[in-house]
């Protein structure tokens, strides 16, 4: 794997996993796949970023504030925590999104680290040119993050077996993947780059 690669893990939080407030079917199935990716990137000393939906209690993103979604990923709650089996460590940069009362926060590129730095600047600062992405949910945060990453000029590789979708309408995830590929994303299964 060339030195200009990074791993970006999107919103693998309890509320998006089975039993959570906005559970994605099989959401937890991405965890072992992403853990193998984390091992690879960690061993190769390549940067790893993990985003989290980090909402206030009251936001126009929730049905309770006039939006579309049941309350989920309210910061400070268990639902907002990363899935406990995800092998995150101190070396992983956490990016928080949807923090304002009027923010949908779908795209990782609207998120910030703990010092307020934007994701694109952090990536460029590390010399990243290509981003491997996986997480939740295919048809929302993953899709918007992939499309924004391409607009920002990064090469994007979608790890297909490391994503799951909400599928409010049947087929939303497949349509989202087609849209990402049409926009210029490459898609792979993690096994295809694991034995480096």
- List residues binding ligand VGL (CB under 6 A): 11, 16, 53, 69, 136-137, 140-141, 166
* Coil vs helix vs strand at 121: helix
Residue closer to ligand VGL (CB basis): 44 or 63: 63
Residues composing the chain: 196
Smallest distance from the beta carbon of 44 to ligand VGL, in angstroms? 27
**Sheet hosting strand 5-10, strand order edge to edge:** 92-97, 48-53, 5-10, 130-136, 155-164, 186-188
Residue 34, C-beta contacts closer than 8 angstroms, at least 6 positions apart? 9, 12, 86, 134, 135, 159, 162
Smallest distance from the beta carbon of 192 to ligand VGL, in angstroms? 24
Smallest distance from the beta carbon of 179 to ligand VGL, in angstroms? 14
- 177 within 8 A of 150, measured Cβ to Cβ: no
Residue closer to ligand VGL (CB basis): 50 or 136: 136
Smallest distance from the beta carbon of 58 to ligand VGL, in angstroms? 15
Residue closer to ligand VGL (CB basis): 74 or 141: 141
């Amino acid at each position: 794997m060339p030195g200009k690669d990074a791993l970006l893990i999107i919103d693998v939080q309890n509320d998006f996993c089975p039993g959570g407030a906005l559970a994605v079917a099989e959401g937890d199935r991405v965890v072992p796949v992403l853990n193998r990716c984390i091992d690879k990137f960690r061993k190769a000393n390549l940067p790893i970023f993990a985003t989290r939906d980090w909402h206030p209690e009251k936001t126009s993103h929730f049905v309770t504030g006039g939006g579309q979604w049941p309350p989920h990923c309210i910061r400070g709650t268990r639902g907002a925590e990363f899935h406990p089996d995800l092998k995150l460590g101190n070396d992983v940069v956490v990016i928080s999104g949807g923090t304002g009362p009027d923010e949908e926060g779908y795209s990782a590129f609207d998120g910030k680290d703990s010092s307020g730095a934007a994701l694109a600047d952090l990536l460029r600062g590390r010399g990243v040119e290509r981003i491997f992405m996986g997480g939740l949910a295919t048809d929302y945060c993953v899709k918007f993050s992939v499309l924004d990453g391409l607009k920002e000029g990064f090469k994007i590789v979608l790890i297909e077996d490391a994503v799951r979708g909400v599928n409010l309408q049947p087929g939303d995830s497949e349509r989202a993947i087609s849209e990402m590929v049409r926009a210029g994303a490459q898609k792979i299964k993690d096994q295809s780059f694991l034995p480096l």
